[in-house]
């Protein structure tokens, strides 16, 4: 808990010439991370968002605060849809380079809803996040070889994860257990 009241260091390491993708980049941590990368001289920062209009508003906010234009791009990705995740990753393969991928998109809802055969929070926060990570690895590796630089792939999380009871962990088929509405504890997820 104490760490929540600690002043965080102000990033200064330059990202000159690098390309960065951040999912969930129109609000919160994703938006502020994108703002820092632009300030730290990244060549391209891709805001991966579900709603383009919200991404465009975030782009304007970043450009207004950093006074750098032509750096931020807004790309659509809907992590409730496998096809959208695959299309996004395919588009990312066309980049000259991909140095950093911050997979930050998340969903929190008290409602139990299904998509792609899975409960939506599990789909967005786990399955699609790791599907995207796996699909971006080839481009990250290519960048590592071509630019002799270690790429970065990170998934954001919360220190409160240790509080989750996660009763599904004892199920023979965990992902199947997550689809059972009658036993779902949405606040725990």
Residues 165 and 139: their CA atoms lie apart, in Å, by: 36
Closest CA to 155 of 173, 179, 169, 136: 136
Provide Rg for the chain, Cα atoms.
18
Write down the domain spans for the chain. Answer: 11-158
Closest CA to 74 of 90, 91, 86, 98: 91
Local confidence pLDDT in tens for the 189 residues of the chain: 677 788 888 899 999 999 999 999 999 999 999 999 999 999 999 999 999 999 999 999 999 999 999 999 999 999 999 999 999 999 999 999 999 999 999 988 899 999 999 999 999 999 999 999 999 999 999 999 999 999 999 999 877 777 788 888 889 999 999 999 998 888 887
Cα 132 to chain centroid, rounded: 9
The strand pairing partners of 152, in sequence order, are: 100
Residues 32-53: b if buried by 16+ CB within 10 A, e if exposed: ebbbbbbbbebbbbbbbbbeee
CATH 3.40.50.720 fits 11-158, yes or no: yes
Q: In this structure, are residues 20 and 42 in contact, taking their beta carbons and an 8 Å threshold?
A: yes
pTM (2 d.p.) = 0.92
The strand pairing partners of 100, in sequence order, are: 20, 152
């Amino acid at each position: 808990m104490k760490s929540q009241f600690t002043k965080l260091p102000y990033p200064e390491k330059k990202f000159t010439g690098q390309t960065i993708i951040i999912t969930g980049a129109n609000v919160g941590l994703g938006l502020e991370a994108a703002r820092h990368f632009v300030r730290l001289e990244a060549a391209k920062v891709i805001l991966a968002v579900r709603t383009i209009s919200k991404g465009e508003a975030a782009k304007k906010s970043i450009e207004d605060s950093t006074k750098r234009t032509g750096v931020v791009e807004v790309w659509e990705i809907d992590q409730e849809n496998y096809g959208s995740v695959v299309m996004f990753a395919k588009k990312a393969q066309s980049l000259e380079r991909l140095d950093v991928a911050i997979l930050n998109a998340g969903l929190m809802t008290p409602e139990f809803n299904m998509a792609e055969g899975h409960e939506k929070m599990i789909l967005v926060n786990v399955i699609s996040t790791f599907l995207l990570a796996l699909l971006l690895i080839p481009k990250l590796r290519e960048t590592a070889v071509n630019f002799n630089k270690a790429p970065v792939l990170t998934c954001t999380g919360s220190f409160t994860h240790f509080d989750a009871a996660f009763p599904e962990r004892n199920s023979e088929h965990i992902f199947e257990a997550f689809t059972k509405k009658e036993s779902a504890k949405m606040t725990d997820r």
